[in-house]
Amino acid sequence: MYCHLILWKYLTSWITSWYDVITTWNEASSVCRHFESQNLRSTRRSWVLPQYGTT
């Protein structure tokens, strides 16, 4: 969710053409969904382990 909000602000801020916004949004949105689905379950683990993991 946050990924999409950040992307939306970024795209609307820097891309003036709505066509570019829409096409880039569609591509980036699929990346967001992939990223979130891959990392949703491991988010807590990835945040906790660096604090207590061995180096």
Strands (E), the chain: none
Distance CA 55, CA 51 (A): 10
Stated pTM of the model: 0.33
Over its length of 55 residues, how does the chain's per-residue pLDDT go in tens digits?
577 777 777 766 765 666 777 787 888 888 878 777 776 656 555 555 555 554 4
What's 1's DSSP letter? -
Which DSSP string do the residues of 1-55 spell out, in sequence order?
-HHHHHHHHHHHHH---HHHHHHHHHHHHHHHHHHHHHHTTTHHHHHHHHHHS--
